[in-house]
Structure 1
Amino acid sequence: MAASTAVISLLQTLDQPNISELYHGHTADTLDSLRATSEYFLDVLEKSSYKSGIDIEKIKSLEEKIIVVSSEAEYVVETKISEIIKGDSWTFGILQHQDMLPVVEKMDNTKKQVMEILSHDDADQILDGDLKIIDK
């Protein structure tokens, strides 16, 4: 639940009406990448939350990773926007994609870790909604 909340909060930050005025070009692509990865996380979290056949430890591990990286991404985006609005930034009022690259890389690495945690078969089953119940 906390992981979903962190991802939803990041998505809301990325979808702020005024943010589109602060970026262009490569930055738009970078923010789109953050959004796409966040939506993937949300999809996995929502579908895995009602599937009882997944190892609980796997779910906890992936949730922790998602919370950390989503919170960090939101912090970076909000900080950069705040710097621009306050005029404290040297970016001439535009959010630069270079500022976002480290957090995009972390998001991508976390996505790979989530995929590894779930294993290929589990991830497909979660995303397809066909996960079978496993008794432990």
Structure 2
Amino acid sequence: MPRRPQPIGFAFPTGTDAASVRARVVAMERLLERSFTVPGIGTPVGLDALVGLVPVLGDVVTAAMGAYIVWEARNLGLPKWKLARMGANVLFDTAIGAIPLIGDAADIMFRSNSKNLRILLRHLDKHHPHTRVIEG
């Protein structure tokens, strides 16, 4: 049987196992919070800050993307109190982001997706230690 050619670039893991979920959530957080570096400032920003510049629609889109991380956490079986905390982070980020100008600066300062990633990774490291990635 001939081998299928390997795809070029990043293959997005599609499984429901904890390792695949971890890879997806880490990639989503990186996309939302640390995709680009602003020249002169040196601060990494992501789609959350950039798309948030579009009034109303930008905040709705980034809230939905942040809610995806909470949904993945729910599928992994995180306790309800952790899910509530993650949801509150997304809600707070969306509410602050809706304020013109102040919200755009707050998107860079308050990184709800990074906070939610830390909550999820702590859970994974404790309950699914085989998903840990050693970075060198």
Q: Which category describes the TM-score, using the shorter chain as reference length?
A: 0.3 to 0.5
Structure with the bigger percentage of helix: 1
Q: TM-score, normalised by structure 1?
A: 0.39
Q: Which has the higher contact order (CA 8 A, sep 6+)?
A: 1
Q: TM-score, normalised by structure 2?
A: 0.39
